[in-house]
Structure 1
Amino acid sequence: MSKSSKAVKKPMLLLFASLFMVSVALTGCGDESNNKAASTEPSKSPDSGTEATSKASTALDHSKPLTITVFDNAANYQGEQKGWYGKLIKDKFNITLNILAPQVAGDQLYKTRSAAGNLGDLLIVNNNQLEELIPAGLIMDLTGKLKNTQNLSKYMDNHFKPFNAAFQKVNPDGKIYALPTFEADTSPTTYSEQIPYSSPIMPWDYYKGVGAPKLNNLDDLLNVLKLMHEKYPKTPDGKPIAPITLWKDWDSRGTMENARWLSNWYGYEQPEGTTTIQLNAKGEIVPLIDDNSMYKKILQFYYKANQMGLVDPDSPTQDWNKVSEKLTNKQVLLLWYSWETGFYNSIERGKKGDGNVAIPIADTHIFQASDAYYGNGRVFAIGSKANDPDRIMEFMDWLASPEGLRYYVNGFEGFNYEKTADGKFKLTEVGQTAFQKNTPVPDEYGGGGYQDGQSKLNTMIISDFAKDPKTGEFYNSNYWAATIEANKTALTTDWQNTYNAENATDYYLKHKMIDIVPNINTSLGSDSSDIKNKRSQISDYVKNTSWKMVFAKNQAEFDKLWEMMKKDVIGLGWNDVFASDTEKAQKIVKMRADALAKK
């Protein structure tokens, strides 16, 4: 999945406890247009009648092929968008996407291209980068263009204007330069998903196979992982199973990504744009290098797991693509992103009691941000030197249309889903497993494997937790009435009976084991050149040392590395960066308090 979302960054991405949700957070969906590239007619969907993608779309000339260079921080893929999604946008807009992915090419790509004065045509960048790009003149003012859109214009007043206005220091006139990603239409304090974004998740059949012991703490978790691994060392077809698998290529914010997210299990987040702090729901700040920090606790957990032989030996060298293969093959026992379940879970497997589910640990207290009403930390923008910005805007407007969202989130009608008698949607038998099986797509839609051909943008402007006007249900197929009914399998009912809860979020709320805080999406201010340099050096040092600690030969070496890191980062300017991060955190604390006051 995407980093994103991480979103995981990350799938990213996207981001959910879904059978099919990985297709949202990881890549995307869509193909069902019969429009020809040169057509100047309003865009149409076979199932929805005319859905104009732009009020001005009929004035645009689509006869000339247009290649859009997409600088995309969310992408896990670099190169030309191919497959069925590539054919869809080629047929519909005569557009080809050429994706540049820092997650593939490295962070230097942003520095090199921005220094050259041309980051790309369509930009998907982080909030802190947006704050640099506005004064540098590298992105376009979209205010006037948005007024002429069919879909995006609906979000101008309540979403786009407030977000852009927060960049007052570099945008005093309140112009709209960027469109936040994954915006929900619920409320700023609602959490809609059935499982927290990060929480302990394991295979239900394997967990029950070792007696389903109650887990009181992380030591209990390690012990049950050991029991499970001893009983289930390999998949039925002989592939090795790893209790815990780690990967480096998502490491960001100056920390080990896999450790950062497990800190959420115990009530702490590391805010976007910071490197040195962890923050809880009460607004309390703990330095990352504090001996009692949750970050250190999670590093210790991974170290102990490795000492017990529970960490995948591929971890130091593998990338996310390799991990996703293992998830698809059920070669991993502990998952911690909700959307990871979508790599393996299916209704058919659920009928047999097979699938990954939440397994609560009694001493956890999960930190969970609400739905991303104002977006989630990245934005769509158009480069100031973009070729044919009006056609790019038309494409962006379509991405936010009901048709565009259906493609991205759920694929195409007749293949992935179909209408029900009451006018709603349900997944087809093929659609239930098209992502996991990389099901071949009919040639008329572009051929190739379904997963291979999904949208490589790996992010959306509007969230799947927005209502489809055609059905009145979320775009997220997990929340369709038909899916909920179909998903009443042996897996879900057994879990519900065991934990006396409707779903994982319900369980954590009932037992007061979760804090849901308003999702704040804003700029925390750009770093001065001095802070930026210090932050970069500290980030590299902390990430590298964290990995060394996990694979330390003994506890003495682990402790030595920690003490050395605490000392060395001070010399790299830790105190200055910590002061900057603490100031940034105060803005988050205030905005969360304001959101709760308006509730």
Structure 2
Amino acid sequence: MSKKNKLHSKTVFALAACMLLGTTALSGCGGNSGNSGAANATDSANQANQSADPGNGPDHSKPLTITVFNNAANYQGEQTGWYGKLIKDKFNITLNILSPQVAGDQLYKTRSAAGDLGDLLIIDNSQLEELIPAGLIMDITDKVKNTEYLSKYVDQHFQPFNAAFDKVNPDGKIYGLPTFVADTSPTTFSEEIPYSSPLMPWDYYKGIGSPKLNNLTDLLDALQLMHEKYPATTDGKPISPITLWKDWDNGSMENVRWLSNWYGYEQPDGTSTIQLNAKGDIVPLIDDNSMYKKILQFYFDANQRGLVDPDSPTQDWNKVSEKLTNKQVLLLWYSWQRGFYNTPQRGAQGDGNVAIPIGDTHIIQNSDAYFGNGRVFAIGSKAKDPDRIMEFMDWMSSPEGLRYYTNGMEGFNYEKTADGKFKLTEVGQTAFQDNTPVPDEYGGGGYQDGQSKINSMIIGDFAVDPDTGEFYNKDYWNATIEANKTTLTTEWQSMFKATNPTDYYQKNNMIDIVPNINTSLGTDSSDIKNKRSQISDYVKDTSWKMIFAKNQAEFDQLWTKLKSDVNGLGWTDVFAADTVKAEKIVKLRAEAMANK
């Protein structure tokens, strides 16, 4: 998720949503670790390692360090903690993660120019398209077909995706495995809350009388009232109605990009000059009526009222995540941000961040990532021991691997119920937020610190666990849904007359769900790349200046200058290239809708 794919996320912060009004964390961020579950996990891993037979599979007797070039990672260095120990015990593997989000975009250019990006690669579709003809990606067609778990997804998910790279891969070989693929359908949206929508603390919202919000002006009025009544946390930390951060900015200002979704416009990954709506309309970012400008105006108006965190121009995401954990932010807009604060215990007290709909919004929301979501797992052409890397990826996509990634350790984070399904343990409900200490014999450190820093999956958590018949995503387990029938849940449902936010937006015709298209949108020529880089830098820099402009006149002057100056940087050429990409998305969405 874009760096938020980044998400989708970005993220120690995986892209799956936490429960609307309740539980813990993000997909891949939940749970804790503990004695019985961790002991069982370690015993199982040791048995697997001891039984490895070089004649029947990869030889685990020699330690292997895998260099992971990872666009999704927010962390750089060796994977340590409980997950590091798990894969060391099970596969005798150590992960050394290289993160462009930490080290900068130049890392990709430098390593690809040197002819060796890494062993295991988690890269964007556009990068895969560049790297295949450059000979830096391994053909893994036969390796995938010989796997136990990944082979099940070959025809349905991997072959259509790889065949889309027709110019550089006319034979439709498998060079990359798309990330976060779902088990549902190309037009299904399974989550109970849109990826980006307005979220606020329920108790503070009630504390100002639960005003109905008809538009963004009403939202600012509500935020101002909340800030006046709740200027600081109970332990004295200052509260900011809105907090922004720069380090996710890519083609444009990321915090502007995602609020544009509230009003039906998205900025496709790999573009920097356009926004696109569900009907297929393509709007230049610099159009006077663009949603990009409308959201810039919203942030400017907020800052004029003193509602924008003064730390915004200088802080990074790590600082923001601390503030979310401490309930120092009043307006959130990513679904998974709730996981930093919401817990069932707080929910029982009516405390937590929830969706607060705004009457004039009409959200654009991509469907489940049936074919993946814009990034791929690939193996570098110079990778050390690719068979062991493939074995590791196959395990990551197995029920066991998916449970560890999404939910932590059985017996500690979660346990089986009498009907053979899973439920979170008491400690597992808050391990992410509390960064609960893990015993040294299982890796030590905090639970959150020891989670997988890969921060991405091949098979997503909106796939069904064959042992339970439920999604891997713990927030959609029946037991979790029942546990989240708290005061927070029931009060929200009573006020908004809906089961959850997605239900509310659908009932009130306030959302368009569009097919999640995962394909190659083409690579830029060197000329377009250079022009795009200059335009993006200028747009981002000007966007920040506009938000913090001293008055409306300066805001307008900066916008007028932006529209004029980008023309001299090659705007027309980049806009034309982005239009071609958008038109491909529109065409494929129409085909998906016609065949649903």
TM-score by length of 1: 0.95
**In 2: Cα distance, 1:416 partner to 1:230 partner:** 39
Does the Cα contact within 8 Å between 1:17 and 1:194 map onto a contact in 2?
A: no
Shift of 1:244: 0.4
Contact kept? 1:268, 1:280, Cα under 8 Å: yes
- Report deviation, 1:421: 0.6
Q: Give the conservation status (yes or no) of the 8 Å contact 2:214–2:359.
A: yes
Q: Indicate conservation of the 8 Å contact 2:464/2:471, yes or no.
A: yes
Aligned to 2:199: 201
What letter is aligned with 1:176?
I
| Pair 1:385–1:114, CA change in 2 (3 A) | same
Corresponding position: 1:336 with 2:346 = no
2:51 aligns with 41
Which residue in the other structure is 1:212 paired with? Answer: 210
Instruction: Give the structure 2 partner of residue 580 of structure 1.
Output: 577
Deviations 1:57-89 (A, max 9, x none): 942110111000000000000000010000000
SS at match of 2:369: coil
Conserved 8 A contact 2:30-2:432 = no
Taking structure 1 as reference, are residues 209 and 248 closer, same or farther at Cα in structure 2, changes over 3 Å only? same
Change (3 A) 1:291 1:21: farther
**C-alpha displacement of 1:2:** 11
Question: Residue 372 of structure 2 corresponds to which residue in structure 1?
Answer: 375
Q: Establish whether residue 142 from structure 1 lines up as the match of residue 119 from structure 2.
A: no
Instruction: Provide the C-alpha distance between the structure 2 equivalents of 1:3 and 1:142, rounded to a whole number of angstroms.
Output: 26
Matches within 5 A, 1:235-254: 235-252=233-250, 254=251
**What is the aligned counterpart of 1:24 among 10, 24, 27?**
27
CA displacement at 1:8 relative to structure 2: 4.4
Cα separation, 2, equivalents of 1:489 and 1:217: 29
Equivalent-residue separation in structure 2 for 1:501 and 1:424 (angstroms): 27
Contact preservation (8 Å) 2:74, 2:101: yes
Q: 1:7 matched to which residue of 2?
A: 7
Contact 1:85 1:454 in 2 (8 A): yes
Root-mean-square deviation over aligned CA pairs: 1.7
Secondary structure of the residue aligned to 1:491 is helix
Provide the rounded CA distance (Å) in 2 between the counterparts of 1:117 and 1:3.
24
Tell me which amino acid in the other structure corresponds to 1:186.
T
What's the offset of the Cα at 1:24?
A: 2.2
Q: Which residue of 2 aligns with 1:500?
A: 497
Per-residue CA distance 1:287-315 (angstroms, 9 max, x = gap): 00000000000001001111111001111
CA contact (8 A) 2:52 2:58 kept: no
- Contact 2:32/2:431 (8 A) holds in 1: no
| TM-aligned CA deviation for residue 571 of structure 1 | 0.5
Residue 27 of structure 2 aligns to a residue whose secondary structure is helix
Correspondence for 2:305: 308
Provide the residue aligned with 2:66 in structure 1: 68
* Equivalent pair of 2:28/2:405 in contact (CA under 8 Å): no
| Partner-residue secondary structure (3-state), 2:306 | coil
Aligned to 1:52: none
Counterpart in the other structure of 1:410: 407
Aligned to 1:49: none
**Residue in 2 aligned with 1:532?**
529
1: distance between equivalents of 2:310 and 2:92? 46
Q: Give the aligned residue type for 1:534.
A: K
Judging changes above 3 Å, is the alpha-carbon distance between structure 1 residues 170 and 57 closer, same or farther for their aligned structure 2 residues? farther
Q: In structure 2, what is the Cα distance between the partners aligned to 1:26 and 1:547?
A: 31
CA contact (8 A) 1:40 1:60 kept: no
Cα deviation per residue 1:212-236 (whole Å; 9 max; x = unaligned)? Answer: 1000000000010000011001111
Contact 1:28 1:456 in 2 (8 A): no
Q: Using a 3 Å threshold, how does the CA distance of structure 1 residues 222 and 304 change in structure 2: closer, same or farther?
A: same
Any conservation in 1 of the 2:28–2:407 contact (CA below 8 Å)?
A: no
2: CA distance between counterparts of 1:339 and 1:582?
A: 31
Superposed counterparts of 1:278-427, under 5 Å: 278-427=275-424
| Distance in 2 separating the partners of 1:546 and 1:233 | 27
> What code does the residue aligned with 1:562 have?
W
Q: Does the CA contact (< 8 Å) of 1:277 and 1:578 recur in 2? A: yes
**Is the contact made by 2:23 and 2:480 (CA closer than 8 Å) also made in structure 1?**
no
**1:101 alignment counterpart:** 99
Change (3 A) 1:592 1:2: closer
Change (3 A) 1:74 1:22: farther
SS of 2:354's partner is strand
Contact 2:341/2:433 (<8 A) preserved = yes
Asked if 2 retains the 8 angstrom alpha-carbon contact of 1:2 and 1:26, the reply is no
**3-state SS of 2:429 partner:** coil
Cα distance change of structure 1 residues 299 and 510 upon mapping to structure 2, 3 Å threshold: same
Query: Is residue 83–residue 452 contact of structure 1 (8 Å, CA) maintained in 2?
Result: yes
Residues 21 and 149 (structure 1 numbering): CA distance in 2 closer, same or farther, change over 3 Å?
farther
Q: Counterpart of 2:433?
A: 436
Q: Residues 91, 437 of structure 1: CA spacing in aligned structure 2 closer, same or farther, 3 A cutoff?
A: same
Give the % identical residues.
Answer: 77
Alpha-carbon contact 2:24-2:343 (below 8 Å) kept: no
Whole-Å separation in 1 of the counterparts to 2:52 and 2:410: 20
Given the alignment of the two structures, is residue 129 of structure 1 paired with residue 147 of structure 2, yes or no?
A: no
Please give the alpha-carbon distance, in whole angstroms, between the structure 2 residues aligned to 1:147 and 1:21.
36
- Secondary structure of 1:354's partner? coil
CA distance in 2, matches of 1:588, 1:350: 40
Alpha-carbon contact 2:67-2:98 (below 8 Å) kept:
yes
Is the 1:27–1:455 Cα contact (8 Å) retained in structure 2?
A: no
Secondary structure (helix, strand or coil) at the match of 2:222 reads helix
Closer/same/farther in 2, CA of residues 20 and 96 from structure 1, 3 Å limit: farther
* 1:38–1:61 contact (8 Å) kept in structure 2: no
Q: Secondary structure at the match of 1:202?
A: strand
SS at match of 1:542: helix
Match of 1:484 in 2: 481
The answer as to whether partners of 1:37 and 1:90 remain within 8 angstroms in 2 is no
Residues 184 and 465 of structure 1 are in contact (CA less than 8 Å); yes or no, is this contact kept in structure 2?
Answer: yes
Q: 2:81 aligns with which of 56, 80, 83?
A: 83
In the alignment, structure 1 residue 547 sits paired with structure 2 residue 541: no
Find the counterpart in structure 2 of residue 51 from structure 1: none
Q: Deviations over 1:147-167 (max 9, x none)?
A: 110000000001000000000
1:457 pairs, out of 450, 454, 475, with 454
TM-score (ref. length: structure 2): 0.96
Which SS does the other structure have where 2:126 is aligned?
helix
CA distances 1:228-277 after superposition (whole Å, capped 9, x unpaired): 0110011111111110000000011x200000000000000001111110
What letter matches 2:10 in structure 1? K
**Alpha carbons 1:37, 1:93 under 8 Å: kept:** no
CA distance in 1, matches of 2:498, 2:143: 48
2: CA distance between counterparts of 1:29 and 1:164? 37
SS at match of 2:524: coil
**2:184 equivalent in structure 1:** 186
2:221 — aligned with what?
Answer: 223
Q: Closer, same or farther in 2 for the Cα pair 1:448/1:75, shift >3 Å?
A: same
Q: Indicate whether 1:118 and 2:135 are aligned.
A: no
Q: Distance in 1 between matches of 2:329 and 2:432?
A: 18
Q: Write the deviation string for residues 371-396 of structure 1: whole angstroms up to 9, x where unpaired.
A: 00000111000000000000000000
Match of 1:592 in 2: 589
What is the CA-CA distance between 1:527 and the residue it aligns to?
0.7
Amino acid at match of 1:260: R
Number of matched pairs: 586
